[in-house]
Amino acid sequence: MTERTTLYRYFDTSGNVLYLGITNDLQRRESQHRRDSARTWFPLIAARTQIWFETRSQAEAAELAALQSESPPWNVKDVSRLTEQALIASRERKWAKRPRVTRGHSPAYRQYADEIIGQIKSGALKPGDHAPSISKLAKAKGISPSTASRVIQTLSTEGWVDPVSGFGSIVRTRP
């Protein structure tokens, strides 16, 4: 027996994908999003599309491809192992691994914070984008989680990012 499954996308007013996912019960899933994301991305929705697949495995393959190519900013929580790998790969492309910062006159956490601030100032990270999570920043840069945590805390203290419970940190407009 096959289980028809839909791949759905939510878009903002500019046509950017906010979130995408798969489900066999779109009404129930949308109610969950409305409840769980009411204070974050759900109010930003201007449009929704959906594509139905005859099997869940077909929908999962389409979801994985979409995550890799579209990098929706709110796909960060409760994604499957395969889609999490795709999300990490797409974020690594976005955050472009760079050579490790060597210790200089400022501590390593300050140098990494300044690097992310540079990405914000250049427009590589825009207001509303997710800042790198502590674990992903540590992995991408080869630093300890405590150093990565201090980077994110510095960005938050200086007003470059806002922490959002359950979602990580979101880039703010310039302080």
166 within a domain of the structure (yes/no): yes
Question: Do 101 and 167 share a structural domain?
Answer: yes
**What gap in Å lies between CA 95 and CA 116, rounded to an integer?**
9
Pairing relationship of beta strands 161-164 and 168-171 according to DSSP bridges = antiparallel
pLDDT in tens, 26-61: 999 999 999 888 888 888 899 999 999 999 889 988
pLDDT in tens, 52-100: 999 988 998 898 888 878 878 888 654 555 555 655 665 555 555 444 4
Q: What is the pTM of this model?
A: 0.48
- What is the number of domains present in the chain? 2
Q: Which amino acid is at 134?
A: I
Question: Do 110 and 67 share a structural domain?
Answer: no
Give the structural domain span for 27: 5-75
- Confirm if 125 and 116 have CB atoms less than 8 A apart: yes
Question: Do 158 and 115 share a structural domain?
Answer: yes
- Confirm if 56 and 9 have CB atoms less than 8 A apart: no
C-alpha distance from residue 102 to each of 34, 46, 118 (Å): 45, 45, 17
126 within a domain of the structure (yes/no): yes
pLDDT in tens, 87-141: 566 555 555 544 444 545 678 888 889 999 988 888 888 888 888 888 888 888 8
